[in-house]
Amino acid sequence: MFSNGLIQITLIQIDNYGRWTSSLGYDREDKLQILQASLYTDVQRFFSSLGGIAFFHSFDTMMAVTNGIDEGSHRRIQSEICSRYPISVSMSVGVSSTAYKAQRWASEELIKRNTSPVHSQRMILINSEKIVDEGGGLVQIAHFDVDDSTKLFLDTRSAYDAALAIDRSFQTLAFLLKEKEALLFFCGGDNFISPCNGLSTSELHEIITAVYEETGVKFKVGVGLAQKAREALKFAAMGLDEIRAGKYPGPIKLFSKIYTDQLK
Amino acid sequence: MFSNGLIQITLIQIDNYGRWTSSLGYDREDKLQILQASLYTDVQRFFSSLGGIAFFHSFDTMMAVTNGIDEGSHRRIQSEICSRYPISVSMSVGVSSTAYKAQRWASEELIKRNTSPVHSQRMILINSEKIVDEGGGLVQIAHFDVDDSTKLFLDTRSAYDAALAIDRSFQTLAFLLKEKEALLFFCGGDNFISPCNGLSTSELHEIITAVYEETGVKFKVGVGLAQKAREALKFAAMGLDEIRAGKYPGPIKLFSKIYTDQLK
Amino acid sequence: MFSNGLIQITLIQIDNYGRWTSSLGYDREDKLQILQASLYTDVQRFFSSLGGIAFFHSFDTMMAVTNGIDEGSHRRIQSEICSRYPISVSMSVGVSSTAYKAQRWASEELIKRNTSPVHSQRMILINSEKIVDEGGGLVQIAHFDVDDSTKLFLDTRSAYDAALAIDRSFQTLAFLLKEKEALLFFCGGDNFISPCNGLSTSELHEIITAVYEETGVKFKVGVGLAQKAREALKFAAMGLDEIRAGKYPGPIKLFSKIYTDQLK
Amino acid sequence: MFSNGLIQITLIQIDNYGRWTSSLGYDREDKLQILQASLYTDVQRFFSSLGGIAFFHSFDTMMAVTNGIDEGSHRRIQSEICSRYPISVSMSVGVSSTAYKAQRWASEELIKRNTSPVHSQRMILINSEKIVDEGGGLVQIAHFDVDDSTKLFLDTRSAYDAALAIDRSFQTLAFLLKEKEALLFFCGGDNFISPCNGLSTSELHEIITAVYEETGVKFKVGVGLAQKAREALKFAAMGLDEIRAGKYPGPIKLFSKIYTDQLK
């Protein structure tokens, strides 16, 4: 959408997790679930206190949008986690014009280390030299939620069926967003959040129209653009709220709120 | 699988969540994620300390397998959550011969309350009279993980692509399990857990064979059967470990460990 | 007070704590404070879910009243802590007719291990064979709070001075209680809690009268007696509430609520 | 010690705590202890991530040294706590040349609000206009620990007696420090931390000599001076470590490490 919209993605991975879980014996599933969710709350606390946002993603690997968060802060987060948990985390940072490319770059570096002969990694920070200067980039984030989800899902299906149906629409939406190099994360209930640098409003319209035609599920979308992720999310939430207030009552509901200071 | 295998599912739902989230203002997404994940760690702590297991499910609605956990314990969990969080939770309990029917029953009762004129519910416990006596039921749980997932996904795709692919195989597997009235929950990485009372070993074989043919993804499965969920999970983990140790090297890897005391 | 009032005290100690703290480098004080307080919340959650109560005591060493909590539960708590923290804890259990003797016995065994040639202990449970059978003992707990503390301290002194004055009255009260082999723990604000098996109502009266004469600080006291610590505390809180409601308006306010089922 | 050493203290108080605790019923003590300790971990996380340090103090009222932490950050902490807990906190900020005066000033303003006709306060921030500009002040912190505490206390007394004795030496030390307008906080084990702007090295020597003569307890002290509290604590820990390494083997062990950039 804007030429200088570099997005910075940090991949956070629990080190040597498989080996550690085995050390707990067989009666461990509850402990793993508690560890993963606790760790996520701490990772989220750290990054959001610095203006970023973290996603639970695949639970043992998390992703955060970290524009404006520097190498020292990444290292401090790693060392604080070490001081609170029986495990450590490695991090890899990618910066690119799209969220997809940023995470792919971060992934590739992490995989290289994982598959090296010295497989047992512990608390490395990769690509820290790529971290963008504060102000050097802009984050674009879209917040999707299902229109009239109560009627569509929650009051007409069992809780399990509703969640399965929502996950199916997640798959469809994620597939279309990936073609535009945008990511999508599930954030609870019927809420999906997409770091989507470079995606235009009309492309968003096309995507949610296509999802509607394919699945019958209508989405509302708010979009925010700002120097840091939390602020972009705030604008996206404002956009969604204006839609809910009935200001944009088109058949496909889309609203994009833009941080105007960046647009001059 | 066994005639007396009644499973008890508890549905846990945050009360009046939408209204409360709005009260936080627009800069709230990080706070919601922290609240949901913290709440889940506490719900998991409570239920697992009593032998049950909780799943994060759709984050604002959680599900737990709660055989052997009585009404008083459910009420204590509700009151402890009230004393630690700015929100309260309602719970609904279902008991049936399959996990799917148990959660559907629990859902239906909860929906009735939600759609009643007095919509603003707070901390109710539904169906508590249906809670099964300790020893009155048996829980069957299958633990799936992707065979050779490192080669298939983690070392050859970006972290985002790997998670998308794993979610796709989740969809396929969940669809087939639902036909047999079994549930499926994502538990991190490439791990899925299925409360699956009534599912036989040969049905499980058919299902993972079908998933393999459709998606190319091979699953290992361990199955446990016990009076309480955590113990069933422990047996399932033991089963998976025996497969990893090479004891069951068939093309489709499946192992079911059975709590023999129940089988006489 | 009652011949069969055996109290069970568990001492919980962080293993090799000094060595571990050094490994964190010099910028560590905040991390230590967070670790200690988090650990305490988990220790409290575990023991209270089983009917006990834990005190923060000296932060790196905690004490719990654990009547009715068996060896298996102690071991499970230890293993859960191991799965969540970068440290482990050792526990030592003492059972006696007074709280002071129970903790002294527990301490002595722990010190023996600590001073043995193999100093680096990790997650031992001592004296588990002494754990009393459920129903084998009774816990007596007194809950003290300062009468009219708002006028005495909070609205007339700075926050720091109020806390210092309250700590001074803690010292005086603890000294007198120790002569009767009762313990005293600070629990926030102007609240002190005393496991005090064997202490009679008239002895309690004498003690708070003496504190009043020496320091000018008047205490209200509620006393509870039950098979488990949390229930004894509940009765003590009920007693305090009756005093607040004005039912016992003597110059020295004392009320002891007794769990009558135990008294026949 | 240095003319421009203004220290900023923030007093954090749970709002309407007594009323809220009553609403929990009588079986509440474990819940209160968990709430207080959880809240403290969050308060500490917030302030320390910004370079400050928080003390648990009297559990329902906490104190933090907050030089360099501005009004917006204080307000964000308040709103985050609101989003995670069933209670809210008020804060009052004091700035002065000594820690004692800073907290007294903060206390006085808070007491005024508490005793006003509208007693039920909720989430106010007082004195925020007094918050010092970053760089406008310097924090001096001393870290005391008992010399040879293992021999003195831990291996020769029961855990309860050791803690009582350490609290007695806390009282003596706090009394002498208060005469110099320095504060003292218990931080676990035999560790006390003192925000002590304006206290000279020779005064510190006199104080720990007097404590030794009165109680037989020898203290080691490290002192740090920096723009922010966490950094001052880091220097104090470095000082203590040099003493332990035998570099300052005088009869009374004292070391003060000074952040030299501030001393030109």
Whichever domain contains C57, its CATH number is 3.30.70.1230
What would the mean pLDDT of D161-181 be, rounded to a whole number?
95
Facing A34 at nearest CB: one of C28, C38, C84: C84
The confidence score (pLDDT) of residue B6 equals 93
In this structure, are B111 and B72 located in the same domain? Answer: yes
- Per-residue pLDDT at B250: 57
- Please give the tally of structural domains in chain A: 2
Contact list, A110 vs chain B (CB under 8 Å) = 159
Distances A34 to B54, B187, C54, C80, C174 between C-alpha atoms, Å: 10, 11, 22, 10, 39
Shared domain for A72 and A151, answered yes or no, is no
Inside any domain, residue B2 = no
Residues B160 and B190 in one domain: yes
Task: Report the residue of chain D nearest C10, measured CA to CA.
Answer: D159
- Please give the Cα distance from A21 to A33 (Å, whole number): 11
Across A160-179, average pLDDT: 95
CB of B86 within 8 Å of any CB in chain D? Answer: yes
User: What is the share, in percent, of chain D residues with pLDDT greater than 70?
Assistant: 86
Q: D86 versus B156: which is more confidently predicted?
A: D86
Q: Which of B36-45, C145-154, D42-51, D204-213 has the lowest mean pLDDT?
A: C145-154
- From first to last of its 264 residues, what are the pLDDT tens digits of chain B? 344 589 999 999 999 898 899 999 999 999 999 999 999 999 999 999 999 999 999 999 999 999 999 999 999 999 999 999 999 999 999 999 999 999 999 999 888 887 665 555 677 888 777 776 544 688 999 999 988 777 777 778 999 999 999 999 999 999 999 999 999 999 999 999 999 999 998 899 899 999 988 888 889 899 999 999 999 999 999 988 888 887 665 555 666 655 544 433
**Residues of C in Cβ contact (< 8 Å) with A25:** 79
> How far is A134 from chain C, CA to nearest CA, in Å?
26
Spell out which residues of chain D touch residue B28, defining contact as CB-CB under 8 Å: 83
Mutate to test the interface with C, among D119, D121, D160, D176 (most CBs of C within 10 A): D160
Write the pLDDT tens digit of every residue in D68-78.
999 999 999 99
Longest dimension (CA), chain B: 59
Query: Does residue D175 sit within a domain?
Result: yes
The least confident of A54-58, A132-136, A190-194, C82-86 is A132-136
Please name the residue that has the structure tokens 């906490």: D62
Domain assignment present for residue D245? The answer is: yes
- Contact between C107 and D170 using a beta-carbon 8 Å cutoff: no
Mean pLDDT of D201-218: 89
Asked if C179 is an interface residue toward chain D (Cβ–Cβ < 8 A), one would say no
**The pLDDT of residue A250:** 56
Shared domain check, A155 and A109:
no
* A259 close to B (CB below 8 A): no
User: CA A62 from chain center: how many Å?
Assistant: 8
Q: Which of D20, D158, D181, D215 to mutate to test the interface with C (most CBs of C within 10 A)?
A: D158
- Closest residue by Cα to residue B101 from A162, A150, A164, A158: A158
Token pair 């503390």: residue? C149
Contact status of A171 with chain D (Cβ, < 8 Å): no
Cα B38 to Cα B56: distance, rounded to the nearest angstrom: 11
Contact status of D80 with chain B (Cβ, < 8 Å) = yes
Model confidence pLDDT, tens digit, residues C160-209 = 999 999 999 999 999 999 999 999 999 999 999 999 999 998 899 899 99
| CB atoms A111 and B155 under 8 Å | yes
Query: What are the E-state strand segments in chain D?
Result: 7-14, 53-55, 61-65, 89-96, 125-126, 139-146, 185-186, 191-195, 219-226, 253-256
Residue D90: Cβ-neighbour burial (10 angstroms; 0-12, 13-18, 19+): buried
- pLDDT at D259 > cutoff 60: no
Q: Which two tokens stand for residue A231?
A: 């602020």
Task: Give A-chain residues touching B53 at CB under 8 angstroms.
Answer: 29-30
Q: Which of residues 13-42 of C touch A (CB under 8 A)?
A: 24-25, 28, 31, 34-35, 38
Q: Look at residue A54 in the predicted model and tell me its pLDDT.
A: 98
Q: Given an 8 Å threshold on Cβ–Cβ distance, is B34 in contact with A41?
A: yes
In a domain, D1, yes or no: no
Mean pLDDT of D23-37: 96
More confident call, B149 vs A102: A102
C32-48 confidence digits (pLDDT tens)? 999 999 999 999 999 99
Q: Regarding predicted confidence, which is higher, D246 or D97? A: D97
- For position B151, what pLDDT does the model report? 73
Count other C-beta atoms under 10 Å from residue D205's C-beta. Answer: 14
Q: Higher confidence at residue A77 or residue A262? A: A77
Summarize the confidence of residues C127-154 as an average pLDDT: 77
Mean pLDDT of chain A: 87
Residue C111 pLDDT exceeds 60: yes
**In this structure, are residues D143 and D240 in contact, taking their beta carbons and an 8 Å threshold?**
yes
Domain that holds residue D246: 139-262
Judge if C156 and C174 occupy the same domain. yes
Q: Quick check: is C2 in a domain?
A: no
pLDDT, residue C137, reads 80
Question: Do B144 and B205 fall into the same domain?
Answer: yes
Contact status, residue B113 vs residue B127, Cβ threshold 8 Å: no
Residue B259 sits at the chain A interface (C-beta within 8 Å): no
- Mean of pLDDT values over D123-149: 79
Instruction: Give the mean pLDDT of chain D.
Output: 87
What CA–CA distances, in Å, run from C220 to C141, C144, C216? Answer: 14, 6, 13
Helix (H, G, I), strand (E, B) or coil at C83: helix
Q: Measured between beta carbons, which residues in chain B are less than 8 angstroms from residue D80?
A: 31
Are A97 and A57 found together in one domain? yes
D44 touches chain C (CB under 8 A): yes
Query: Rounded to whole angstroms, how far apart are CA atoms A198 and A184?
Result: 14
In a domain, C145, yes or no: yes
Cβ-Cβ contacts under 8 Å for A48 (sequence gap 6 or more): A54, A230, B30, B34
- For the record, the structure tokens of A241 come out as 């709220």
Chain C residue closest in CA terms to B81: C45
Q: Would you call D84 an interface residue with chain A, using a CB distance cutoff of 8 Å?
A: no
Q: Contact B154/A30, CB-based, under 8 Å?
A: no
Asked if the structure places residue D2 within a domain, the reply is: no
Residue A1, in any domain of the structure: no
The two three-digit tokens of residue C203, written as one number: 């002895």
Give the CATH number of the domain where residue B233 resides: 3.30.70.270
Quote the tokens at residue B107: 């859902």
Q: Of A150, C77, A233, A32, which is closest to residue B56 (Cα–Cα)?
A: A32
Q: Which residues lie below 8 Å from residue C14, measured CB to CB, with a gap of 6+? A: C20, C39, C60, C61, C87, C88, C89
Question: What was the pLDDT predicted at A261?
Answer: 44
Contacts of B46 in chain C (CB under 8 A): 49
Stated as kind and residue range, the H or E segment containing C208 is helix C201-215
- The amino acid present at B183, given as its one-letter code, is L
How many CB pairs below 8 Å do chains A and B form together? 194
Q: Cβ separation of B178 and A164 shorter than 8 Å?
A: yes
Residues D176 and D186: their CA atoms lie apart, in Å, by 15
D74: enclosing H helix or E strand: helix D71-84
| Cβ contact, residue pair D46, A46, below 8 Å | no
C47 at interface of B, judged by CB pairs closer than 8 A: no
* The pLDDT of residue B113: 81
Q: Is the pLDDT of residue A228 over 90?
A: yes
> Mean pLDDT throughout C19-24?
92
Chain A residues near residue D49 by CB distance under 8 angstroms: 46, 49
Single out the residue in A78, A113, A130 at which a domain terminates.
A130
Burial label, B260 (beta-carbon count in 10 A; 0-12, 13-18, 19+): exposed
pLDDT at C126 over 50: yes
Calculate how close chain B gets to A217, using CA atoms only, in Å: 17
**What is d(CA B13, CA C227) in angstroms, rounded to the nearest whole number?**
34
Domain C-terminal end among C130, C165, C184: C130
pLDDT at residue A258, as a whole number: 56
Higher pLDDT, B160 or A124: B160
Residues A61 and A151 in one domain: no
Question: Are residues A85 and A168 both part of a single domain?
Answer: no
pLDDT at C133: 57
Q: Which of A91-105, A233-247, B119-133, B166-180 has the lowest average pLDDT?
A: B119-133
Query: Residue A263: which region, alpha, beta or left (left: phi > 0; alpha: psi -120 to 50)?
Result: alpha
Q: Number of C-alpha atoms within 13 angstroms, CB side, residue C97?
A: 7
Last residue of a domain, one of C110, C130, C150: C130
Dihedral angle, C-alpha B200, B203, B205, B210, nearest 10 ° = -160
Q: Give yes or no: residues A107 and A172 share one domain.
A: no
Distance between CA atoms of residues A167 and B21, nearest Å: 22
Neighbouring chains of C at 3+ CB pairs under 8 Å are A, B, D
| Across A81-95, B143-157, C176-190, D156-170, least confident range | B143-157
Residues C102 and C143 in one domain: no
A88 with A193, same domain: the answer is no
Dihedral (C-alpha) B211, B215, B220, B223: value to the nearest 10 degrees? -30
pLDDT of residue B235: 92
Which residues of chain D does A49 touch, with a Cβ-Cβ cutoff of 8 Å?
46, 49
Residues 219-248, chain B: which have Cβ within 8 Å of A?
A: 230-231, 233-235, 237-238, 241
Q: Is C49 on the interface with B (CB under 8 A)?
A: yes
Q: Which of B25, B34, B84 sits opposite D86 (nearest CB)?
A: B84
- Is the predicted pLDDT of residue A41 greater than 80, yes or no? yes
